[in-house]
């Protein structure tokens, strides 16, 4: 488009281009963003009387629902991935999963963006996805690794070797902080295949951007507030943080309902449950061959300490404590009998 007159009857042409982009693999969200940008420009022209009507009114809407879901990497998978990666990729993966910075943003990072005094990275509005400047805090250990990496000068060296064998013409920062390969998704998939991490499961797929998904869920699990999580993810709304990137974890769901049940239900309200707990208490805490007070002396803490640290007296404390040790050591009557016989033989 060269003049405003090129916008007249532009709707069929714009839709044709968008459909061609869709055929080449662009997702609905990207196509919608392109269309909305053009429509916003037309609306601006209409408001200022440069156009008498919006030529893109009624433009086709694309399905913006994700075609696939990214899953969260487990801590075990992350550790395996990092241990199996060469140093330059390990640092790239660490920075991605500990900051959530997107791959195109990682490409633009320079040595000057690292702020040792504030312990983080300054992000420029020229290349962030939301076109806003920002600051991303870094953990101390990662900050030290980045300092060592900068001192080695390996980022520029890797780019020189890479460009000598590649036709990639994308600009490289004069003082790059990291070496980012042409396709990090292929890099991470090669390592995952070598160490036996599935690229896709029933829970979703793993790729380079899944490191950002993992980061946001780790932030959520750390106890950060909604506003803090939104800020660290650099999202405009908490809905994006939690509805798009947030994932539920089965163990945490189970822990939540158990916590609710422990608050609402009391074992002493159930006669059968109370009987069972009393029996367990007798089996564990009152053994015939133990001298008086010996079992209590073995406990790592007393009821007085627990009451102090827990914020008040717990009803049915002895029963709950007995149940805890019963579950922990999995003792039953046969085990108790075996232990008793062993102690008698030693005597």
pLDDT at 277: 52
Q: Of 237, 243, 209, 225, nearest to 93 (Cα)?
A: 209
Cβ atoms within 10 Å of 343's Cβ, excluding its own: 12
pLDDT at 272: 60
On the 0-12 / 13-18 / 19+ scale of CB atoms within 10 A, 84 is middle
Angle at 115 between CA 109 and CA 121, to 5 degrees: 45
Query: What does each of the 347 residues of the chain score in pLDDT, given as a tens digit?
Result: 677 777 778 888 898 999 888 888 788 878 888 888 888 988 998 898 888 888 888 888 888 776 778 999 999 999 999 999 999 999 999 999 999 999 999 999 999 999 999 999 999 999 999 899 999 999 999 999 999 999 999 999 999 988 888 777 788 899 999 999 999 999 999 999 999 999 999 999 999 999 999 999 999 999 999 999 999 999 999 988 988 888 888 887 888 888 878 878 876 665 565 555 555 554 444 444 444 444 444 444 444 444 444 444 444 444 443 444 444 444 444 444 454 555 455 55
Phi and psi, residue 155, nearest 5°: -60, -50
Cα separation, 154 vs 163, in Å, equals 14
Cα separation, 247 vs 20, in Å, equals 33
Question: For every residue of the chain, which 3-state class applies, written as one string?
Answer: CCCHHHHCCCHHHHHHHHHHHHHCCCCHHHHHHHHHHHHHHHHHHHHCCCCCCCCCCCCCCCCCCCCCCECCCCHHHHHHHHHHCCHHHHHHHHHHHHHCCCHHHHHHCEHHHEECCCCEEEECCCCCCCCCCEEEECCHHHHHHHHHHHHHCHHHHHHHHHHHHCCCCCCCCCCECCCCCCCHHHHHHHHHHHHCCCCEECCEECCCCHHHHHHHHHHHHCCCCHHHHHHHHCCCCHHHHHHHCCCCCHHHHHHHHHHHHHHHCCHHHCHHHHHHHHHHHHHHHCCCCCCCCHHHHHCCCCHHHHHHHHCCCCCCHHHHHHHHHHHHHCCCHHHHHHHHHHHHHHC
Q: Of 239, 45, 21, 234, nearest to 125 (Cα)?
A: 234
> Are the CB atoms for 188 and 93 separated by under 8 Å?
yes
pLDDT at 276: 58
pLDDT at 273: 58
Q: Enter the tokens of residue 73.
A: 């990497």
pLDDT at 257: 85
Q: Of 99, 95, 244, nearest to 184 (Cα)?
A: 95
pTM, 2 dp: 0.65
């Amino acid at each position: 488009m060269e003049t405003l007159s090129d916008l007249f009857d532009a709707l069929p042409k714009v839709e044709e281009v968008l459909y061609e982009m869709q055929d080449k693999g662009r997702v609905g969200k990207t196509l919608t963003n392109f269309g909305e940008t053009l429509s916003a420009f037309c609306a601006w022209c209409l408001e200022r009387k440069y156009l008498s009507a919006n030529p893109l009114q009624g433009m086709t809407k694309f399905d913006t629902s994700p075609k696939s879901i990214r899953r969260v990497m487990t801590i075990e998978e992350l550790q395996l991935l990092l241990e199996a990666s060469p140093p330059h990729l390990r640092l790239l993966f660490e920075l991605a999963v500990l900051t959530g910075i997107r791959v195109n943003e990682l490409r633009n990072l320079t040595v000057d963006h690292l702020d040792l005094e504030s312990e983080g990275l300054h992000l420029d509005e020229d290349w962030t996805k939301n076109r806003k400047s920002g600051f991303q805090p870094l953990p101390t250990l990662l900050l030290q690794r980045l300092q060592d990496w900068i001192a080695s000068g390996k980022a520029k060296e890797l780019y020189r070797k890479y460009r000598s064998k590649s036709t990639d013409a994308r600009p490289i920062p004069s003082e790059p902080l990291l070496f980012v390969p042409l396709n990090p998704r292929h890099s991470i998939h090669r390592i995952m295949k070598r160490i036996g991490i599935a690229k896709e499961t029933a829970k979703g797929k793993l790729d380079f951007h899944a490191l950002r998904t993992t980061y946001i869920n780790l932030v959520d699990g750390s106890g950060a507030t909604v506003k803090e999580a939104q800020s660290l993810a650099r999202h405009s709304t908490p809905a994006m943080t939690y509805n798009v990137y947030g994932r539920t974890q089965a163990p945490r769901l189970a822990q939540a309902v158990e916590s609710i049940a422990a608050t609402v239900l009391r074992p002493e309200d159930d006669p059968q449950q109370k009987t069972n707990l009393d029996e367990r208490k007798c089996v564990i805490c009152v053994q015939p061959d133990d001298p008086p007070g010996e079992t209590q002396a073995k406990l790592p803490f007393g009821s007085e300490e627990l009451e102090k640290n827990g914020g008040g007296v717990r009803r049915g404390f002895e029963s709950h404590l007995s149940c805890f040790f019963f579950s922990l050591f999995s003792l039953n009557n046969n085990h108790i009998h075996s232990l008793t016989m062993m102690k008698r033989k030693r005597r």
